Amino acid sequence: MPGQAFPATRPADPGLSSEFHCWPLPAYLWPALERRSQSIFCTEAHLRIHDALTPDVEAWVERADGQIAGLWLFRRHGRIARVLNEVAVADAAGLGHLADALFSRYGELDAIELHALHLADDEASPDIGSPDIGIRPGPGQPAALGYPLQRAVFSEDFVLELPASVDDWHASLSARTREKLRQALRRAQRAEPSFSFRLVHDIDITEQQVRSVLQMSRARMRAKGRSYGIDPHQERQLCALMQERGQLAAIEIDGHLRAGLLCTQAGNDLYMHVVAHDPRFDGLRLGYLCCVLGIEAAIAQGLHRFHFLWGWYDYKLQLGGQPRALHHALLWRSRLAQWRHPQLLLRQHWLGLKAGLRQRRIALRAPAAGHGHRHEHEHEHEHEHAHAPAHASRPATGRARSRRPGQWHAD
């Protein structure tokens, strides 16, 4: 039986209305949320597989002229509401309406906590990471957010806007990059005449295929003396997600998987989680080729965006990815409410300081051309916790630690 809907206080705009839903959430919310967010981290499959769909999850829906204009999942812990939507775009108008609705309905709330959201106008403010910043409105948005906002850039999602054709994408790349792609493909095909590429989708993906790619990634990390960031439980979760929402781009030689790109799809967007190759074929750059061929396949499918997700690697920029800041933010009822939560305030200040130091390190390591700081050949990596538990329900403990998108922490 769907959760009960409760109308919220009607906003001033007569064309707007909103409603709250308690658990169990109505089924129509999931396709609507996916359409609006285009984020795998907001899908029912991701949240369910990572044990985030618990009875304390609620939803707020805003409608404009009968159409869904805003949809947020959240969980309340005392005086704090924690939003589950992640790796999606949020603007001043949407956050303002969310705050109006939650603060109006729940008088005990002091703050709304958001994680891994791209605040659409963050480029307009040079002092990201400072303790108190109001979102600057864009055209047609309200004159001010109306609530104190603290935000810090803690990570980024490298996003490639996919053009209409593969030729258009190639034309957008530098001449040097295009030549490297051609040379790498010719070299691999000459060295291994049985070289082939294919796509495997969701239910046709086997657990063994996923684990083979993860094993190749693990071997590469160990060879570089780096720790591997996926534990057995997370491997099982990724296998389950791939079999529901996955796309495996595979390079095979003599019929055996030698490189793989693990992606998941939400709406028109494709999210890269792991790319790796068999270390015995190091000289052929199979992981790089697998990524390139996977992007070409996404363009051919008519998808709109390819998300490389986090981690500064030159190849993401060379292939057209652009960094999109991901913020951790606190939206407060008032300045007075802030002082009831000194630990949250201190943590947000700490996140802001870390963000500033991180940006300085990236700037110092980046080449003069402005590319990322890791060498182009270091392109095969795994994204730590790209599929980790999303907002798992935990009691507040006062702990302060950063987290990847999809991995909720207690404060």
pLDDT, position 406: 52
Task: Please tell me if the domain spanning 5-153+324-365 has the same topology as the one spanning 163-303.
Answer: yes
Q: Which helix (H) or strand (E) holds 83?
A: strand 80-83
SS3 130: coil
Maximum CA extent, the chain: 69
Q: Quick one: CATH architecture of 163-303? A: 3-Layer(aba) Sandwich (3.40)
DSSP character for 382? B
Cβ burial, residue 158 (10 Å; 0-12/13-18/19+): buried
| CA nearest neighbour of 239 among 37, 39, 45 | 45
Provide block-wise average pLDDT over 10 residues at a time, the chain (411 residues).
Answer: 53 72 96 97 97 97 92 97 96 93 97 94 40 39 67 92 98 97 97 97 96 93 81 95 98 97 98 95 95 98 97 93 94 93 89 81 62 41 41 34 43 25
The pTM (predicted TM-score) of the whole model is 0.85
pLDDT, position 221: 84
Annotation: CATH topology of 5-153+324-365: Aminopeptidase (3.40.630)
**Cβ within 8 Å of residue 156, ≥6 positions away:** 310, 312, 323, 324, 325, 326
pLDDT, position 358: 76
Q: Which amino acid is at 174?
A: S
pLDDT, position 2: 54
SS3 160: strand
For residue 276, the cross-strand partners are 260
Yes or no: say if 369 and 139 are a contact pair by the CB < 8 Å rule: no
Q: How far apart are CA 275 and CA 287, in angstroms?
A: 6
Q: How far apart are CA 352 and CA 370, in angstroms?
A: 23
- Spell out the domain ranges in the chain: 5-153+324-365, 163-303
CA-based radius of gyration for the chain: 22
Inter-CA distances, 275 with 105, 308, 383, 398, Å: 45, 10, 9, 36
Cβ burial, residue 113 (10 Å; 0-12/13-18/19+): buried
For residue 261, the cross-strand partners are 249, 275
Q: Which amino acid is at 297?
A: A
